[in-house]
Amino acid sequence: GESVGLHLPTLSVQEGDNSIINCAYSNSASDYFIWYKQESGKGPQFIIDIRSNMDKRQGQRVTVLLNKTVKHLSLQIAATQPGDSAVYFCAENPPSYIPTFGRGTSLIVHP
Amino acid sequence: EAQVTQNPRYLITVTGKKLTVTCSQNMNHEYMSWYRQDPGLGLRQIYYSMNVEVTDKGDVPEGYKVSRKEKRNFPLILESPSPNQTSLYFCASSLKPEPSPLHFGNGTRLTVT
């Protein structure tokens, strides 16, 4: 498959553990944030989003936390599964609408 | 099925030989964009389009052209490819005007020798 994980921060977890992936964003005017998952050989896929008027949003097994004070975003994955192994990107949307992506974190789940 | 379709998936070419990577979306999205992805550099935007006949440069537009004659199509053109354009390319689209998630194609792996 495609190798997009080179030189990326890597998080290794055991199956069943909870995973936390962090992201620092740069623009204090950004008002919309998204997490994407990219599996080998595929394009990034939307996981969960959050707007700046919220500080937490939950989906199925995933939670996004937003701390605007320190410009920090995190993605929590509960009961991590081997199928969660992928590269995870955060993206911020400033009012100009053009999203900016983080460099990504490679999540490796060991059975 | 709602999707963004890129073609080809893999392309090997030689320096200077013009090529086009096609991108089509079936979701009636106004916004479309091209990215390149290189190890350690993440996704970098090449060009984007807010609507038909409206295109703008992204962060790394040099050596690329785009056009948006129809809402669904947003081809990426390399008039004279060079080896530093060897990369993994993604097309993406989304709704406007409210910010919304991007829908990505599955990528085009380009090698320029």
Contact B40 A6 (CB under 8 A): yes
Type of residue numbered B59 = D
Contact A18, A77 (CB under 8 A): yes
Contact B72, B32 (CB under 8 A): no
**Could you report the per-residue pLDDT of A19-48, keeping only the tens digit for each?**
999 999 988 999 999 999 999 989 999 999
Residue B97 confidence class, pLDDT cut points 50, 70, 90 = low
Contact A3 B39 (CB under 8 A): yes
The encoded tokens of residue B36 equal: 């390149």
Q: What percent of chain B has pLDDT over 90?
A: 89
3-state secondary structure of A64: strand
A104 closest CB neighbour out of B42, B90, B99 = B42
**Could you report the per-residue pLDDT of B18-71, keeping only the tens digit for each?**
999 999 999 999 999 999 999 888 899 999 999 999 999 999 999 999 999 999
The encoded tokens of residue A87 equal: 């590269």
For the cut 90, the answer to whether the pLDDT of residue A5 exceeds it is no
Following CA atoms A11, A14, A17, A19 in sequence, which dihedral angle do they give, to the nearest 10 degrees? Answer: 10
3-state secondary structure of B85: helix
Q: Which of B3, B43, B50 to mutate to test the interface with A (most CBs of A within 10 A)?
A: B43
Q: For tokens 């890597």, what's the residue? A: A10
What does the alpha-carbon distance between residue A41 and residue A5 come to, in Å, rounded to a whole number? 11
